[in-house]
Amino acid sequence: MNCPRCATLLNTVECTEPSAPVEVDVCMECEGIWFDEGELDKLEQIVEPQFVEIRQLPSKELQEMALVCPSCPTTEIMEKKRHDRDEQVIYDECSNCKGIWLDGGELRAIQQEHWGKTIVRLGRWLIGK
């Protein structure tokens, strides 16, 4: 699967946490993350809401750019959705496979004071420790 933003091959990262078997696909180039249907919900349960608390956003043009679903064999254009917790956050959801794309800027935009802790927890979670 390739990044919908920069076409780089996505790296699959597996979570071995038994309570939350999640597999995400990460772009090492632009740091965007692809979640298959339901995976973002599982992730939010593990890493706390800070993970999606976004205070600075990628540029409007980037957010509004139409992206093609990386998972569907067709060229399915993903829908722009607003996050329930913060309506300024726009993410892309594929109406066909229900996958979700979060841009790297959206992840990095998380409040700085929470970011350190969150990324450590996320990192541990991602490598299954």
Task: Give contact residues for Zn ion (rule: CB under 5 A).
Answer: 3, 5-6, 8, 27, 29-30, 69, 71-72, 76, 94, 96-97
- In angstroms, the CA 55 to CA 88 distance is 9
- Minimum CB separation of residue 75 from Zn ion in Å reads 10
- Minimum CB separation of residue 30 from Zn ion in Å reads 3
The type of residue at 69 is C
Closer by beta carbon to Zn ion, 13 or else 46: 13
- Minimum CB separation of residue 107 from Zn ion in Å reads 12
* CA-to-CA dists, residue 95 to 71, 81, 123, angstroms: 12, 11, 29
- In angstroms, the CA 118 to CA 105 distance is 15
